[in-house]
């Protein structure tokens, strides 16, 4: 009898299931770049007014109210907006929509690992192009690939830097295929490439409510593109992708931008504090425009992260990325959390663990 393993899609032979789960409820989570300053007050506001008795009914098939609100915010047509269950679903949708087996998908490296994951699952020929030694983007390396889909993260995760917008614009202008610009972290540095993306008939701008908006647990994201592109994306998007409560909270969160601004301002101050303190401990800290800091551990990052997690603090080991041997990524948050990390890190470094 044929086994399940023999029946699975052949790409799964080389694709590992992505996992960010941690089992300890008391773990200090400085590893996933969520907004550590708390849930957006839109959650409580909507919960007090939401008609939970209507949850027997399906939500809007295409989240029409949220799409209309987003269209108004960005001064585009509702037909140019699509929402998803987090930006991850949108990355999945884009890949499924435009990649046939064997098609080339191009992206810089190091960058967000899920671009390669979704492309590999859909049998793409993934072409990763190294960033320059200072982690800047070299558009030429990507443009020279006859890619069906090119993905770029602006600013970039995990390198924490903003690419030169002119390089991204060149990708939009000169690439022959779809160009996805992932602006998940744009709210932390004031970057906005929406108009540049929409100037390209094959551009897609992806955003999320999981980062600056503090709604990672509700999973809401959206993309803006020309109507012809969105029409194609909707062909592979499942209906009812966003639940009614999440849609209502996302809409409310867009009305109250003060909370987002205040938490971003706090994050910027705490990022400076964390970077300075890590530097004094001997970490080689890189400049950051995001809500996380990357730094090189004095020796082995894998061992450092493992022992740190045993002490109840989770950070991301970036040592598996090209050009990032012994780097870690630390999400910025309130100072008590930063101090907990710094205390444990100092203890480990002094003890010779790393």
- CATH class for the region spanning 42-255: alpha beta
Region 244-256: what's the mean pLDDT?
Answer: 94
Strands 125-130 and 203-208: unpaired
The residues near 35 (Cβ < 8 Å, ≥ 6 apart) are 211, 212, 213, 214, 216, 263, 267, 291
Summarize pLDDT for 165-185 with one digit per residue, the tens: 999 999 999 999 999 999 999
For the chain, give every domain's residue range.
Answer: 23-39+258-350, 42-255
CA 227 centroid distance within chain = 24
Q: 249: closest CA among 215, 216, 211, 210?
A: 215
Q: Which residue has the tokens 């060149």?
A: 170
Please give the Cα distance from 345 to 354 (Å, whole number). 9
Summarize pLDDT for 45-82 with one digit per residue, the tens: 999 999 999 999 999 888 999 999 999 999 999 999 99
Cα dist from 6 to 11, 101, 183, whole Å: 12, 19, 39
Rounded to 10 degrees, the C-alpha dihedral 149/154/158/163 comes to 110
1: pLDDT strictly greater than 80: no
Query: DSSP letter at 103?
Result: -
Confidence class of residue 256 from pLDDT cuts 50, 70 and 90?
Answer: confident
Please give the Cα distance from 90 to 236 (Å, whole number). 10
Give the pLDDT of residue 213. 96
3-state SS of 337-354 is: HHHHHHHHHHHHHHCCCC
3-state secondary structure of 109: strand
Ramachandran category for residue 129: left, alpha or beta (phi over 0 → left; psi -120 to 50 → alpha): beta
Is the CATH code 3.40.50.2300 the one for domain 23-39+258-350?
A: no
Region 89-108: what's the mean pLDDT?
Answer: 96
Region 101-121: what's the mean pLDDT?
Answer: 96
7: pLDDT strictly greater than 80: no
The structure tokens listed for 90 are 């949108």
What is the helix (H) or strand (E) element at residue 301, kind and residue range?
A: helix 301-310
3: pLDDT strictly greater than 60: yes
248: pLDDT strictly greater than 60: yes
124: pLDDT strictly greater than 60: yes
12: pLDDT strictly greater than 80: no
Region 221-226: what's the mean pLDDT?
Answer: 97
Give the pLDDT of residue 259. 95
């Amino acid at each position: 009898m044929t086994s399940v393993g023999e029946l699975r899609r052949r790409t799964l032979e080389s694709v590992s299931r992505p996992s960010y789960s941690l089992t300890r409820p008391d773990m200090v989570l400085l590893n996933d770049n969520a907004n550590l300053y708390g849930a957006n007050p839109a959650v409580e506001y909507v919960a007090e007014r939401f008609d939970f008795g209507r949850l027997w009914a399906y939500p809007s098939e295409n989240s029409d109210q949220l799409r209309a609100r987003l269209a108004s915010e960005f001064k585009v047509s509702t037909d140019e907006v699509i929402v998803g269950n987090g930006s991850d679903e949108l990355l999945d949708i884009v890949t499924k929509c435009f990649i046939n087996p064997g098609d080339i998908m191009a992206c810089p490296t190091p960058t967000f690992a899920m671009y390669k994951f979704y492309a590999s699952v859909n049998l793409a020929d993934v072409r990763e192009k190294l960033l320059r030694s200072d982690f800047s983007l070299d558009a030429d390396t990507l443009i020279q690939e006859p890619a069906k889909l090119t993905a770029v993260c602006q600013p970039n995760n995990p390198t924490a830097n903003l690419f030169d917008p002119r390089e991204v614009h060149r990708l939009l202008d000169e690439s022959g295929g779809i160009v996805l610009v992932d602006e998940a972290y744009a709210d932390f540095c004031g970057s906005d490439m929406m108009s540049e993306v929409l100037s390209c008939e094959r551009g897609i701008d992806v955003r999320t409510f999981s980062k600056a908006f503090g709604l990672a647990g509700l999973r809401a994201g959206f993309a803006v593109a020309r109507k012809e592109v969105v029409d194609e994306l909707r062909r592979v998007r499942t209906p009812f992708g966003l639940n009614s409560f999440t849609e209502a909270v996302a809409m409310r969160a867009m009305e109250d931008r003060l909370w987002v601004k205040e938490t971003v301002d706090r994050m910027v101050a705490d990022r400076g504090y964390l970077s300075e303190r890590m530097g004094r401990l001997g970490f080689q800290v890189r400049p950051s425009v995001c809500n996380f800091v990357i730094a090189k551990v004095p020796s082995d990052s894998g061992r450092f992260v493992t022992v740190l997690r045993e002490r109840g603090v989770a950070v991301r080991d970036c040592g598996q990325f090209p050009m990032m041997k012994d780097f870690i990524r630390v999400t910025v948050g309130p100072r008590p959390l930063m101090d907990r990390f710094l205390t444990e890190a100092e203890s480990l470094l002094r003890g010779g663990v790393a």
